[in-house]
Amino acid sequence: MISRLGLHFPANLTYGCWERAGTQLSDIVSSSAWCLGDWLVCGQENYPDRYVLALETAGLDYQTLRNYAWVARRFPLERRREPLSFQHHAEVAALDVASQDKWLDLAEAGRWSRNELRRQLRDQRQGKRADAASMLLIPRVSVARERVERWRAAAQRMDNHLENWMVLALDRAAEDVLSAESQ
């Protein structure tokens, strides 16, 4: 049983039921900001005259709700990335659509936390990374999940992010081929 104060579990709760409850709770927590944002957008569009009353009834901080609605508007359902959190999307929401997609692609491929995405964005803005105009996005390559996981494990063993590790591995391979050709 769910209340505002928490959960009450029956005495005869099975492990399977307990495990399913955890999965459902995790899904609810992960989707709550999106759901509130979508709810607010719908209210603004359909009930502009009663919208503020509903906000007061919900009992949530106005600025937080405004942020949820803003991010939800910037990312229609079809553009949201399930593996990434609402906070990942919020980090890039102010960017143009192409830049949003680029950074979300990188975050998804690298399994970046929200904090790592924030750090990468900050580094890029501060010029610690190559100028965006001089960077090329390599073509997408379809690769079996097992191979990517193997590469990710190797990168982690080298205390590196997958993308950095891949660039280093490709540079080494190119150097080997090019130096063999010159001999």
Q: pLDDT tens across 66-117, in order?
A: 889 999 999 999 999 999 999 999 999 999 999 999 999 999 998 999 999 9
Selection from 67, 108, 116, 117 nearest residue 84 by Cα: 108
Mean residue pLDDT across the chain: 85
Cβ-count burial 32-57 (b if 16+ within 10 Å, e if not): ebbebbbbbbebeeeeeeeeeeebee
Residues 6+ apart with CB under 8 A from 132: 124
Three-class SS of residue 3? strand
Q: How far apart are CA 157 and CA 136, in angstroms?
A: 27
114-125 vs 97-110: helix axis angle to the nearest 10?
130
Selection from 66, 34, 67, 31 nearest residue 52 by Cα: 66
Q: How many CA atoms, within 13 angstroms, populate the side-chain half-sphere of residue 92?
A: 29
61 pLDDT band, cuts 50/70/90, is: confident
Global pTM? 0.62
